[in-house]
Every structure is written in structure tokens, then in C-alpha cells.
Amino acid sequence: MKLSDLKQRTASEILAAFGRDGAAAKSAETLEKMGLPSKKTEAYRYGDIEAVLEMDLTIASEPKPAEILPSVQLIITDGVVTHAPASVKLGYSKAIPADQGHFDPLYHLGHVASPGVWEIEIQDEVYLHIIHRFTKPTSLIPYRLAVHVTPGSHAAVYEQFIDTGATGSLVLYGYDLFVGRDATLKMVKNQTLDSGSYQMVASHRCEVGSAATLDLATFDFGSASALQMMQIALGAHAHVEASHLLYASGSAKRGTVSKILHIGEGSTSNQQAKSILGEKARGIFDALIKVEHSARYTKAHQNSKAILLESGAYMASRPQLEIYIDELEASHGSTTGQLDGKQLFYLQSRGISAVEAKRMLIQAFANELIDAVDGEMIREILHRDFDEAFYGQTRVECIETCHGCEEVVLNEGV
């Protein structure tokens, strides 16, 4: 099928196209009202959604598997959980109450097209490593998670994506994330995606409960097109810290479209995007922060910095603030440019080649977000994956990423 076949269809026809019963009816109705996205849809103006809707695909989703094997990681293969750790409570529902106010039509499509929703409950001290595996070529792979972080708990999620043969497939993934009152969730997403692989539109919704914190760091590298859409709602005194590092090359159209909604009083947000764009890549950071009447004493900060490595590269950066109150502190900014000539010269004047000096500065630009991630292991993986995407090989120097030797040497004779 082609997703474009669903244009102008009624809700019940859309449900029928995916063999769904009434459980996802609300989402189908919302989708019918919004219509499928086109070039003219706000959220998709910088992507290439029409080409995505024209992909000729076989629906790959299967019902729930007979057996889920125990494992250290949660492994999801082509949208089906195949392995799960004992530390999380896992369930499967036909549908969950989706957010009918979500800005993204494909969020609603995801809820209709996914055969069900994997429900994951995360409790205190849990560290969950999710591996998303894709194996089927030219398939439509729709699936969704609902992640509940129990109130008061402190947990972390690390998401990794692996392609083993999903060439030409379209993945419609997304989670509905609920961070309970007073809870903290640190979430890291690491996705290298190169052309010749699958494409992905991930569409998320996050509800951050009162006095809860969501710390979301996304790392997107490679030459394939992909979008992450996210709507994040903040309760009273809730906080979101979102950072997005993008390295895109080739003719990728890649990036983040987000809406952060300040609903509760005293909620705070800080969103930072850094993009490095090579060749003919287009980076996207289309991000709205909306402060509702109810959200007095809000703090909202947003910033985008991009480096264009080649003249064909382009950054579509639109940080936006929409504010309905006076009592708040807010800022936003956006810069796009080349590497700093003075810094380059300084390195070269010490005998470092122009090529190497550029690499060092690009790495420095990226390192700020990588080094802010918790956990030595994850940081090393992110450094390695960035290097692999950027240089086509690993060239992590021990001195940059690990301070092991440094500590040994510095403590010698002390």
C-alpha cells in the first residue's frame, strides 16, 4: 500500500485499511479531520513528506508474539517486543487514550496503524536499554509504546536503533510518555541512519507531571531523511531539558519538530539544538514553546546553533515562542554559520593541519551535548557513533573521552 491512498478516506475506511476495530476509532476520527500531511502542513514544511507518503510498502506489523524472552535489554524487532528485562512491567493494549490535541497527523496515524500499544512501566532506579531492530525490507512498520514512569521514581532510558535489512522501509514509531509526579526520567536516543536504509517518522507525546523532570537528549547522525516530532506538556513546576545533536550529510532532510506546552504554573523548559550539516543536507529545528494562561512564572529558553560545512547545506531553524502571560522569563535564539576562523588559525599556528583543525572544532561543537549525557559508557558510544558518521571510521582518542590515564598520570607521586 501507499499511505497516500488514505487521503480523503473516512475514519472507518482508515481503520479498515489497517484491519483495526473500534479501539483506535478516536484517533482515526482525528486523522480524518486533520487529513494526511502534505507540503502545506506546518509541521512538515521542511521535510519531504509527499515522497514518504508515496512509498510503496507492505504492512509488516504482526500481532503480539507468543513468547517474550528474558534479556538485559528490551528488544523490539520490527515493532514487536521479542525480549524484555525483568526490571520493567510490560503489557500490551489494543489502544491507549491518545492525545487528540497532538499537532502531528502522523501521531494519530501511528495510533491507528499500530496493531496495539506496548505498555511499559518503569519504576525507581530502573535503567532501561531499548534496542529497536528493523529487519524487513520495503515494509510499513508502525508501532507505539506507552511508557509510564511511576511517581517519585528516578529512571533512565537509552534508545538505540539497528538496521539489519530494512532497506526501503518506513517506520512509524512513537511513544506516549508519562512522567509521574516528582519523578525524573533521563532519556537518550541515539540513531545513526544512512541513505539506503529505512526512513523514519517518529511522533512522540510526553506528559511531564507536576514537579517532574524529563531530560531528553537526542542524537541523530547520518545521510538518510528522518523526522522526530514531539509534543511535550508540562504540569505545575515540571521541567524539561531537551537537547538535540544532529549531524546530517548527503541529501538528508533531518531534524526535530517540537511543541513544548507550558500548562502548569512555574514550569520550566530549556531546549537546545546543535546541527552540523554537510554536503546537501537540510537540518530542521522547527520548535514552538507555548506558554498558556495557566502557566504563570514560567521559564522557557530555546536555542539553535548550526554549522554549515558545505555551500549546499542548509539549516531550517525556527525557534518560536507563543506567550499568553506577562509573568515569565523567556529567551530564544538561532545562529547559523561556519567554523570560527580565529580558532582554526590558532590550531594551525601550532602545526595542526587545516583538515585536522576543522575536525577538532566540529568535534568540540558536538562534544558539548555528548559530554552532558550521564554515564561514561553511553558517552563513549555516542562519541564513537558520531565519529563513525562523521569520519566514516572510529577515531576516538582515549584522552578525549576517558579521563582514566589522565587521572593515573595526574595522581602519580601524589
Partner 1 sequence: MSNMMEIKDLQAKIGDKKILNGLNLTLEKGKVHAIMGPNGAGKSTLSKAIVGHYDIEVLGGEILYRGENIVDKEPEERALDGIFLSFQHPVEVAGVNNAYFLRTAVNAKRRHEGKDELNAAEFLREMKKQVETLGMKPDMISRSLNEGFSGGEKKRNEILQMQMLQPDMIVLDEIDSGLDIDALRAVSEGINSMKDGERSFLVITHYSRILDYIKPDYIHVLKDGKIVHTGGPELVAQLEEEGYESLGEA
Which chain residues interact with partner 1 by CB under 8 A?
340-343, 345-354, 356-357, 360-361, 363-365, 367-368, 397-400, 403, 405-406, 408-410, 412
CB nearer partner 1, residue 63 or residue 351: 351
The Cβ of residue 7 has, within 10 Å, a number of other Cβ atoms equal to 11
CB nearer partner 1, residue 374 or residue 406: 406
CB nearer partner 1, residue 166 or residue 357: 357
Q: Minimum Å distance from CB 385 to partner 1?
A: 18
First to last CA, the chain: 69
For the stretch 44-82, what's the b/e string if a residue is b when 16 or more beta carbons lie within 10 angstroms of its beta carbon?
A: bbbbbbeebbebebeebbeeeeeebeeeeebbbbbbbbb
**DSSP percent split of the chain into helix, strand, coil, nearest 5:** 25, 40, 35
Q: Minimum Å distance from CB 274 to partner 1?
A: 11
CB nearer partner 1, residue 210 or residue 348: 348
DSSP state of 397: -
Q: Minimum Å distance from CB 379 to partner 1?
A: 14
CA 53/CA 73 separation, integer angstroms: 32
DSSP E strands: which ranges in 87-153?
89-93, 117-122, 127-134, 139-149
| Location of C-alpha cell 546530517 | 248
CB nearer partner 1, residue 1 or residue 399: 399
Q: Minimum Å distance from CB 347 to partner 1?
A: 7
Q: Minimum Å distance from CB 189 to partner 1?
A: 22
Q: Minimum Å distance from CB 275 to partner 1?
A: 15
Q: How far is CA 269 from CA 196, 290, 301, 330, in A?
A: 36, 11, 6, 9
CA 218/CA 283 separation, integer angstroms: 14
CA 41/CA 410 separation, integer angstroms: 57
CB nearer partner 1, residue 162 or residue 361: 361
The vertex-346 CA angle with 344 and 348, nearest 5°, equals 70
CB nearer partner 1, residue 326 or residue 412: 412
Q: Minimum Å distance from CB 414 to partner 1?
A: 10
Q: Are strands 314-323 and 239-248 parallel, antiparallel or unpaired?
A: unpaired
CA 33/CA 264 separation, integer angstroms: 28
Q: Minimum Å distance from CB 400 to partner 1?
A: 5
Q: Which of 128, 130, 62, 71 is nearest to 92 (CA)?
A: 62
Q: Minimum Å distance from CB 383 to partner 1?
A: 12
CB nearer partner 1, residue 8 or residue 349: 349
CB nearer partner 1, residue 253 or residue 274: 274
